A and B are shown apart, each in its own frame.
Chain A
Amino acid sequence: MKKYLTLVKVLLINSFGFSVLRTKARHNPLEYLKPLAVGALMVIAFAPVIFLYVDILNRGYDLLAPIGLQWTILTLGLVLVSTIIFYFGIFYVINAFYYSGNNEFILALPVQAWQVLGARFTQVLFYEYLTELPLLAPPLLVFGLKSNASILYWIYALLGYLLVPLVPLALASVMALVVMRFTNLARRKDLFRILGGVLVIFLAVGLQVVMQKSGPNVMDAAYLQDLLTHPDSLIHVLSRYFPSIRWLALALAYSSTLGAGLNFLAFSAFSIIAVGLCWLVGEKLYYRGLVGSGEVTRRKRKYTGAYSRLLKASPVLLAYLQKEIRLLLRTPTYFMNCVLSIFLIPIFLFIPFFLQTRSEAGPLPWEALGQNPHFTIILLAVLSGIAIFLAGSNSITSTSLSREGKHFFVSKFIPLPYRKQIQAKLLSGLIFGVLGNLLILSVAAFLLKLNLSLIGLCFIVMLVAIIPMQEVGLLIDLYHPKLDWDQEQKAVKQNLNSILALLLAVLLAAGLFFILIKWIHSLILAVLFMLAYNGIFALGFYLVLMTKGIAQYRRLEG
């Protein structure tokens, strides 16, 4: 246990960068203010969304209180947070368990597999507590304050907050442990690490689909009626993905009863047992999946003079772009965090549509959309919105300098003008952005049976929509690159630049939609407006990149 706790301490200090901060602050005490300033910025940036969330919860409470269903907001919060933790957990867990730079060093230490796994699990848990904060704290607070809850409620709420991530995280961990155990058999480790990561995510999606299919159809009127008349059954329905949540929901809803205590005990015991089982699986599988995962086998084939076909000349811009793309695709952490989301988010978005079964006769709900007079405008707006979101969230450009890390010096000494380096980095983001657009567009075209000219129009509007997003990401990274890291995941996962880029993308998109919905009702005007709005930003940001951006690149030091 002592070794486990020591590992937890070291991993937390290392991953949150406390020592680095202390060293920097020794020379300049103002360094201590930096994380605070970033935190404040995040709070300010997310404040509107949080206020909206709290407002919805508030109204929800008032609306449901007269029929005695006010605790639904708690259950919804718990389900939401568990689902998000589960999906985020998969990424966090794979990154922390398998892609950490210091794994080989830790393997050489005299510690048991469960101690390392447990420490990594705890490290991820701390990140999940941060993820949980904006999602679960509001419903707990709203319910507690509005219902004048007893002290017991607050104790259950606090302990529940700490325990909620355990089950989804244990589930994500076990899935990762099993898949990675078998992908470690392969010779091309990096490739199989990537495939393993993708497989775990698809298993997770599959699990959700199976759960959804096996449950009752919540849109069925008789069933809804039954739910409203038997309040507790709603808890059961909402919490069917993570059954232990129901105990916590019941404990919180009826906190002052004896049953609440029993429910809370059941919830705690289940959570702790889940973690115990997960660590037990870890003891058996973790090292088997990890040992040798860093080694790369050389080919048996020898090149003796016949290697000339491997040596090709390319124009400089293309050569730099190729390097960017190869590293993105071949580095598992970068692939998982930057590339995969482009393909996964559209799949997640469209799964519900494919799961809808045709009821008797008549078109599916979205097929009727085609009758709406504003259909094309809505379609263009929604598709641009998704494209903007994908472009903002893939973090290819917003971490393009950060990813170079301590090897950024190469970009400084090669005789390639900064202008071209910036253009190549931008192009790498745009290429993946266009691929994402094509995927969304093909699914939309299939579902909505779009004609070719409309597909072409959508493609152009979506293309122009993603350019400013990629540019703004690159600008952010140019001004605040995170070059000082010891593990690849710190460059992409623990990098605020990607969040900032996403926020700016959301703001730009919000401006676009606001004007579109408020004032524009004709298709031609809408298309022209979308092209002009995004085009102006694209041009503006490009000019900034080519002037201030280049000057900033020059100032940066490797």
Chain B
Amino acid sequence: MIEVRQVSKSYNRGAVKAVDQVTLSVKAGEIFGFLGPNGAGKTTLIKMITGILNPDAGSIKINGQDIQLNPIKARMQFGFVPDDPNLFLRLSGAEYLNFMADMYQVPRKIRLERISMLLERFDLVEAIGDSLQSYSHGMRQKIVVIGALLHNPPVWILDEPMTGLDPRSSFALKEMMREQADSGKTVFFSTHVLEVAEKVCDRVAIINQGKVVFCGLMEEILTHFQANQSLEKIFLELTGNEKISNVS
């Protein structure tokens, strides 16, 4: 699970509050969608959860491990898919996967099994020996997803994971997210695509101007804002003004 407590982050000496006293709790066994308009603070919060940015205040724990106090143990708990999949483009697919598996110390036998399974699932077997430079955007996204899953992490953190994926791969990823959550793992992902959130998520949080303006179950959000309203309308309403609504 992921516990975010009173986390803040500001830039330009406090002039811009990117994340403002955010508290979230993502439980094991659920898919948690993190929504918000561009520049709302989604990626900043994800970067703090993964240890890429240091929070100004507050604490973040992943499966009980504090990312600031026990960074290595905390990092072993999650697999991270960043929003930019153009990583290490001069490596081949196999070299990239080896690198990630080595970082997470996945034994050779297990990495072989997982890589075979994931390559088949994402239809990437034939490209494994090629340079990542030759991959399309979607293929790069898939190889990064595979790299993040090699150590079978109990927590998945994905920043805009569906961007660039073809419908088949997108379906496969959504299916895997569901399987992971059903097997008791935590899935936390950000997205702009409201339909995805609506179909996949158990709970969602909406962030705007650094503050969480809504956090609750999918059903709750729809009940709270008259059942016939679409998530899109709710999203626009919540992020259009600063009315804070929390029903969780």
* Chain B hits for A303, CB < 8 A: 125-129
Residue contact A558 to B13, C-beta cutoff 8 Å: no
Give the contacting residue for A413; candidates B12, B54, B80; CB below 8 A.
B80
Give the docked Cα–Cα distance between A94 and B126 (Å): 34
Give the docked Cα–Cα distance between A318 and B103 (Å): 10
Give the docked Cα–Cα distance between A301 and B125 (Å): 12
Q: State which residues 390-429 of A face B: CB under 8 Å.
A: 406-407, 409-410, 412-417
Residue contact A297 to B125, C-beta cutoff 8 Å: no
Contact mask for chain A residues 278-312; partner B; CB cutoff 8 A; 1 contact, 0 none: 00000000000000000011110111110110111
Residue contact B88 to A307, C-beta cutoff 8 Å: no
Residue contact A297 to B134, C-beta cutoff 8 Å: yes
Give the docked Cα–Cα distance between A331 and B116 (Å): 29
**Whose C-beta in chain A lies nearest to the C-beta of B9?**
A557
Q: Shortest beta-carbon distance, B6 to chain A, in Å?
A: 20
Give the contacting residue for A319; candidates B51, B52, B99; CB below 8 A.
B99
Query: What is the interface size of chain B, counting residues whose CB is below 8 A from a CB of the partner?
Result: 50
* Chain A hits for B152, CB < 8 A: none
Say whether, besides A190-B90, A409-B47, A558-B53, A313 and B111 are in contact (CB < 8 Å).
Answer: yes
Say whether, besides A414-B103, A555-B54, A314 and B131 are in contact (CB < 8 Å).
Answer: no
Q: State which residues 88-141 of B face A: CB under 8 Å.
A: 88, 90-92, 94-95, 97-108, 111-112, 115-116, 119, 125-131, 133-134
The reply to whether the CB of B15 lies closer than 8 angstroms to some CB of chain A is yes
Say whether, besides A296-B133, A316-B102, A311 and B54 are in contact (CB < 8 Å).
Answer: no
Residue contact B91 to A311, C-beta cutoff 8 Å: no
Q: Which of A76-84, A322-330, A360-368 contacts B (4 or more CB under 8 A)?
A: A322-330
* Chain A hits for B182, CB < 8 A: none
Residue contact A409 to B126, C-beta cutoff 8 Å: no
The reply to whether the CB of B87 lies closer than 8 angstroms to some CB of chain A is yes
The reply to whether the CB of A28 lies closer than 8 angstroms to some CB of chain B is yes
Q: State which residues 536-558 of A face B: CB under 8 Å.
A: 554-555, 557-558
Residue contact B82 to A409, C-beta cutoff 8 Å: yes
The reply to whether the CB of B75 lies closer than 8 angstroms to some CB of chain A is yes
* Chain A hits for B128, CB < 8 A: 303, 307, 310
Q: State which residues 4-25 of A face B: CB under 8 Å.
A: none
Residue contact B75 to A312, C-beta cutoff 8 Å: no
Give the contacting residue for A417; candidates B72, B101, B111; CB below 8 A.
B72
* Chain A hits for B13, CB < 8 A: 27-28
Q: Shortest beta-carbon distance, B48 to chain A, in Å?
A: 10
Residue contact B82 to A316, C-beta cutoff 8 Å: no
Residue contact A415 to B95, C-beta cutoff 8 Å: no
Give the docked Cα–Cα distance between A320 and B95 (Å): 11
Residue contact B52 to A308, C-beta cutoff 8 Å: no
* Chain A hits for B87, CB < 8 A: 407, 410
Give the contacting residue for A313; candidates B92, B102, B131, B134; CB below 8 A.
B102
Residue contact A415 to B72, C-beta cutoff 8 Å: yes
The reply to whether the CB of B84 lies closer than 8 angstroms to some CB of chain A is yes
**Whose C-beta in chain A lies nearest to the C-beta of B105?**
A316
Q: State which residues 179-221 of B face A: CB under 8 Å.
A: none
Say whether, besides A303-B129, A312-B98, A557-B54, A415 and B90 are in contact (CB < 8 Å).
Answer: no
The reply to whether the CB of B50 lies closer than 8 angstroms to some CB of chain A is yes
Give the docked Cα–Cα distance between A307 and B120 (Å): 12
Give the docked Cα–Cα distance between A83 and B19 (Å): 54
Give the docked Cα–Cα distance between A58 and B13 (Å): 51
Give the docked Cα–Cα distance between A302 and B54 (Å): 43
* Chain A hits for B173, CB < 8 A: none
Q: Taking each of B12, B50, B99, B106, which has the highest tally of chain A beta carbons within 10 Å of its own beta carbon?
A: B99
Give the contacting residue for A316; candidates B54, B80, B103; CB below 8 A.
B103
Residue contact B131 to A296, C-beta cutoff 8 Å: yes
Residue contact B52 to A558, C-beta cutoff 8 Å: yes
Give the docked Cα–Cα distance between A303 and B97 (Å): 15
**Whose C-beta in chain B lies nearest to the C-beta of A301?**
B129
Residue contact B112 to A310, C-beta cutoff 8 Å: no
Q: Can you report 11 A-B residue pairs in the complex whose CB atoms are below 8 A from each other?
A: A305-B116, A313-B107, A314-B102, A319-B102, A327-B90, A410-B87, A412-B52, A413-B52, A413-B80, A555-B54, A557-B53
Given A307-B125, A323-B88: 4 more A-B contacts, CB < 8 Å: A298-B127, A305-B125, A327-B88, A409-B50
